[in-house]
Amino acid sequence: MCTINEAHPLGVEVHDYRGVAKEELNQIALTHARCPLEMDEPALVRLDLLKFGEHGDVVVFRGQHSVADGFASALLMEDLIKLVLRQPAQGPALSYADY
């Protein structure tokens, strides 16, 4: 069971879209996902929780290009998938040279 606090100390931004027409959900999620992080923002990554009520929730992860290049993204996604599936991390992280 997971609980999301409305005011999370790590800065998860909660957006409540309950009651929005089903046809608009995809466009709302795309708008959030395509919103770039500006270089002068203090956060290097940002998490948005989009609450769509009975249609479910969406988590949008955005990161500045400096921390979200292809190599870093692959490692991050692997770690997130392992966390969700409750799989243990196996050995040290893959090095850039090995990638």
Tens-digit pLDDT profile for residues 5-43? 666 555 688 899 999 999 999 999 999 988 887 766 777
Q: What is the pTM of this model?
A: 0.58
Task: Tell me the β-bridge partners of 51.
Answer: 16, 57
Query: How far apart are alpha carbons 49 and 65 in whole angstroms?
Result: 21
What is the overall mean pLDDT for the chain?
78
pLDDT score of 52:
94
